[in-house]
A and B are shown apart, each in its own frame.
Chain A
Amino acid sequence: MIRMVAQRLLVGVFVMWGAASLIFLIVRAAPGDPATVLLGPDADRTQIEQLRESLGLDRSLGAQYVSYLGDVSRLDFGQSHRLGRPAMDAVLDRLPATIDLTLTATAVAVIVGLTLGMLAGGRPGGALDRVVSACTIALQSFPTFWIGIMLVLVFALGLGLLPSSGVGTPQHLVLPALTLAFPFIAIIARLTRTSVAETMREGYVQTARSKGLGERQVLLGHALRNSLIPVVTVVGVQVGALVGGAVIVENVFAWPGLGSLVVDAVANRDYAVVQGVTLLIAGIVVVLNLIADLLIAQLDPRIRTGAV
C-alpha cells in the first residue's frame, strides 16, 4: 500500500512538471502579450517595449522558463501585473467559491446519481430503468448553459424563489450547483446502472440469492461494493472536469470562482494567473486521483495486495 502511494506521488510530481511546462509554452505561444494588453490600444511602441522589459518578457524563452520553474518549485507563481498583486493571492481568493460550487455539485450528483443508478440497475429492463435511462440521456444532451438559463427563468424570474446570480447565502448556491450537477448525475447514474446490472449477474450474487436473500439485501449487501469501483474512478476524474465545466456556470450565475478568473486571465494574457490556476487544478486532479486509487484499493482487496 505504501509502495503504491509512493509510486502515485512520484507520478504526480512528473504530471505537475509536465503541466507546468505545457502551460508555460501554451500561454506564450498565443499571439499578443501582457504588455500590449495592459497598456491597451492607446499605447505607443516605446511604452510597450518599456513595459515588456520591466515584466521580463524581453528575455529569452529559456531564461524565462528556468526562472519560472525555480519560482514554481517555491510555490511562487509571480505577480499578476494586471491585478496588481501576487497571482496566488488572486487564485486563493477565488478558490473557496469554486470549492463550494464543485463540492456541492459533486455531492448532489453522487447522491442522486448513485441512487438512480442502483434503482435502475437493480431491475434492468424494468419501468424504472427505462425512465432513468431516458432522463439521464436527456440530462447529458442538454448544454450546461441552457440548463442554467432554464433554471433561472423558472426559479428566479418565474417563481421568484431563488436569486438569479451572485453569492452570499446558501440559496445563491442552489441553481449553479444544480446546473453543474445535472450532467454529472447522468454520468454517474448511467455508469452505476451498467455496473450494478453486470454485478447482479455475477456468480457470487446468484449464490447470495440462492441462500434466500431478498433483492434489496443482495444489492446493498453484496453487489454494491463491487459496482462502485468504476464509479469511484470516474468520479475522481470528473471532479477535475467539473472545475473546467464551472467556467460556463460561473458566467451564467456571476459566481466568482476560478473559472471566470482564468477566462479573464487568458483574454488578458495574464501569464502568472493562468499558470497559477492551471497548476492548482492539476494539483487538485492529481490528489483526487490518488484518493480515488486509495478508495478503489479499499473496495477491491486484489488491488491493495497487488493481485491485479
Chain B
Amino acid sequence: MTKTREYGRSRLVRLAATATAGAALLAACSTTTGGDDADASGASGDVTAAGTYPIESLDPHGAQGASTGTQLAGQQIFSRLVKPDPDGTLKGDLATAWKPNKAVTAWTFTLRDGVTFSDGSPLDADDVVASFQRMISLNGPNAGNFPVSTMKKTSATQVVLSSPAPDASVPGKLGTFYVIPSGVGKDDSAYFNHPVGSGPFTVDAFTPGESLVLVPNKKYAGNKPAPRRVTVRNIPELSARMTALRTGEVDILWGIPDDQLASLKGEKNLTVRTVPSSAEFTMWFNSSTPALKDAKVRKAIWQAVDFKTIIDKLYPETGRAADAPVTGVVLGHVPQPPVAYDAAAAKSALTDAGFDFSKKLRLQFANAEFRPFIQAVVSDLQKIGVKADPLEKEQATFTEDLIALKWDINFQQLATPSYDAASNLGRLYTCEANRNGYCNKQLDALLASAGATADKQKRTDLYGRASAIIWRDAVGMYPMSVSIAYAWNSDLKGFTPDASGLPDFATVGTGGS
C-alpha cells in the first residue's frame, strides 16, 4: 500500500518536472510570429497596424463615435458624405456635390449613383437621413456638432441638412458622420459585431479593445483595396508597440514620441515620417481669474516662457512653433506675429501691471506625456518670480474642472478634426461658450460672420481677424503645432501618413501581393 502511494507521488513529481521542462521547451523551441511576420505580410498582402487607442465599438453614432479608435474603424468600414484627404482637404465620398443656400442655413448634398452596401443592398438618401437621425437620437459626442440641425430627403439622390443659424462649417463637421443602413436600432450590438457598410473594407473579426480584422469589401464603389487583410491591434504600452514594430509583428505604427524616433530612424527596414496635423498645444488663460483679467499680464506670462528652446529640446521632430491659434492645415489659419521670449520685459510688464507675484497659478493638464513640457514652462515662469502649480489630473477630473473653469492656465493638445476653424475658434472662443473666461463682443461678431459665409477666402479673412484678437489679447499661449510621427515597414507601398492620425489602409500595397 505504502509502495503504491509512494510510486504515485514520485510519478506526480516526475509529471511536474516534465510539465515545467515542457513549458521551458515551448519557450525555447516554439515557432514565433516575431520577426517572420514582416516577410509573411509582405508576401501575403496582410497588413498589421497598431493604433494609438483601442477600438471599443464600431458604432460611429454612439458614445464612442468621436473616439480615435472608432473613427479609425469607421472610415475603413463605412462611407461619409464628405471626407478629408490625408492633408485635410475635403473631398466627396458619397456626395458628388454640396452647396449651401444663400443664407448658409441649408446644405444640399447630391449623392453618388450606384453605391451599394457590402451585402449588395443599394445605399440611398433614406439611409443617409436615417443615419443622421440615429446619430442625433443617440446624443453621443458627434451629435453635439449638430445640436439643432435636421436632415431631409428631397429626392432619391439628394438630402438637405438645415439649421436655424447659418453654418458654413457643415461639410467639415460631416467628416465624422458615417452612413449605415436604415433600420439599425439604437443598441443593435449584433449588427455592429459584423456591420454592413459601404467603405473599402468589411469586418472579418472584431474583438472590442483587442483587434479588428478587415478584408476588402467586394462591393466597394471605389478602387479595390490593395491589402488582402488588415489587422488593427490594440497594444496599450508604447514600448510594446515599438517592440512589435521592430520584431515585425506590426507593420505600421504612429503617434511615436520624439525620444523614440532617433532609434527607429536607424532601423534600415523602417520608413519614418512626420506629417503636420491639426493639433496644437493650447494653453488657455482663465481670463475670469482676477490675476489674469488684464491682457498685458497674460501676454507678459507668454513672453516669459522660452517656448522655442523647450520645443527644440523636447519635440525636435514633431514640434514647430505655432503661428496662430489653429494650425496651418486648418481652414481659417492666418499667421500672426511671433511672441518673442523676453524674460526681463515680461517681468517688467508684470510689475507695471501690478501682478501679484505671491499668487500661485493652477496649471492643469491631463496626460503624463506632457509632464516634461509643463515642468519646463513652470521652470521658466519661476525664473521671473511667477509661481505656477502643475496639476496633473485624471481625464475625468480634468474635463470636469475644465468646464467649471477651476484652473488658471489650462494645457490641452487641441485638435480640429473638421479642419475648419469654426469647430475650434467658432465654438470655443465665444462669450456664450465661456470656455476660458474671455468675452469679446467684437470677436463674437467676427466668428459669427465667418460661420455665416460659405466663401472660403472670406471665411479665412474673418478667422484671420478673429485670430489676431485672440493672439493680441493672449486668450491663451499657443506654443506649438504638432506633427504626427509614423513608422512603417519599408516593404509596404502606397502608405500615406495622415494629418488626423487616421490613416487609410485601402491604398497600402505589400511586396508580394
CB within 8 Å of B: which residues of A?
30-33, 36-45, 47-48, 50-51, 54, 79, 81-85, 89-90, 93-94, 107-108, 111-112, 114-115, 149, 152, 155-157, 160-171, 174-175, 178, 217, 220-221, 224, 251-254, 256, 260-261, 264, 267-269
User: B59 — nearest CB in chain A belongs to which residue?
Assistant: A84
Contact of A40 among B20, B23, B66, B237 (CB under 8 A): B66
Q: Scan residues 1-19 of chain B and give those whose CB is less than 8 A from a CB of chain A.
A: 2, 5-6, 9-10, 13, 16-17, 19
User: B35 — nearest CB in chain A belongs to which residue?
Assistant: A160
In the complex the two chains form, is A54's CB within 8 Å of B139's CB? Answer: yes
User: A107 — nearest CB in chain B belongs to which residue?
Assistant: B19
B57 within 8 A of A: yes
Apart from A166-B211, A267-B395, list 9 A-B contacts with CB within 8 A: A37-B399, A41-B399, A42-B66, A84-B57, A85-B189, A164-B249, A165-B235, A220-B6, A267-B396
User: 24 A-B contacts, Cβ less than 8 Å apart?
Assistant: A32-B399, A39-B144, A40-B66, A43-B141, A47-B144, A81-B63, A83-B56, A84-B64, A89-B189, A111-B19, A152-B243, A161-B29, A163-B34, A164-B243, A164-B247, A165-B243, A170-B30, A174-B27, A251-B236, A252-B237, A252-B240, A254-B234, A254-B235, A267-B396
B62 within 8 A of A: yes
In the complex the two chains form, is A32's CB within 8 Å of B394's CB? Answer: yes
In the complex the two chains form, is A254's CB within 8 Å of B394's CB? Answer: no
Contact of A163 among B189, B207, B249, B397 (CB under 8 A): B249
Closest 3 CB pairs of A and B: A32-B396, A256-B210, A160-B35
In the complex the two chains form, is B208's CB within 8 Å of A166's CB? Answer: no
In the complex the two chains form, is B26's CB within 8 Å of A165's CB? Answer: no
Query: How far, in Å, is B71 (CB) from chain A's closest CB?
Result: 13
Q: Which residues of A contact B397 (CB under 8 A)?
A: 31-32
Contact of A41 among B29, B35, B63, B412 (CB under 8 A): B412
Q: Which residues of B contact A264 (CB under 8 A)?
A: 54, 56, 209
B455 within 8 A of A: no
In the complex the two chains form, is A164's CB within 8 Å of B240's CB? Answer: yes
Highest count of chain B CB atoms <10 Å: which of A45, A156, A170 = A156
Scan B27-52; emit 1 where CB is below 8 A from any A CB, else 0.
11111111100000000000000000
A168 to B207, CA, bound (A): 12
In the complex the two chains form, is B34's CB within 8 Å of A36's CB? Answer: no
- Inter-chain residue pair count (beta carbon < 8 A): 192
In the complex the two chains form, is B56's CB within 8 Å of A82's CB? Answer: yes
B129 within 8 A of A: no
Query: How far, in Å, is A26 (CB) from chain B's closest CB?
Result: 14
Q: Which residues of B contact A267 (CB under 8 A)?
A: 394-396
B403 within 8 A of A: yes
B293 within 8 A of A: no
A31 to B406, CA, bound (A): 13
A253 to B56, CA, bound (A): 18
In the complex the two chains form, is B400's CB within 8 Å of A33's CB? Answer: yes
Query: How far, in Å, is B123 (CB) from chain A's closest CB?
Result: 23
In the complex the two chains form, is A93's CB within 8 Å of B207's CB? Answer: yes
A108 to B151, CA, bound (A): 60
User: B207 — nearest CB in chain A belongs to which residue?
Assistant: A256
Query: How far, in Å, is B136 (CB) from chain A's closest CB?
Result: 12
A155 to B240, CA, bound (A): 13
In the complex the two chains form, is A221's CB within 8 Å of B9's CB? Answer: yes
A190 to B121, CA, bound (A): 66
Q: Which residues of A contact B29 (CB under 8 A)?
A: 161
A28 to B35, CA, bound (A): 46
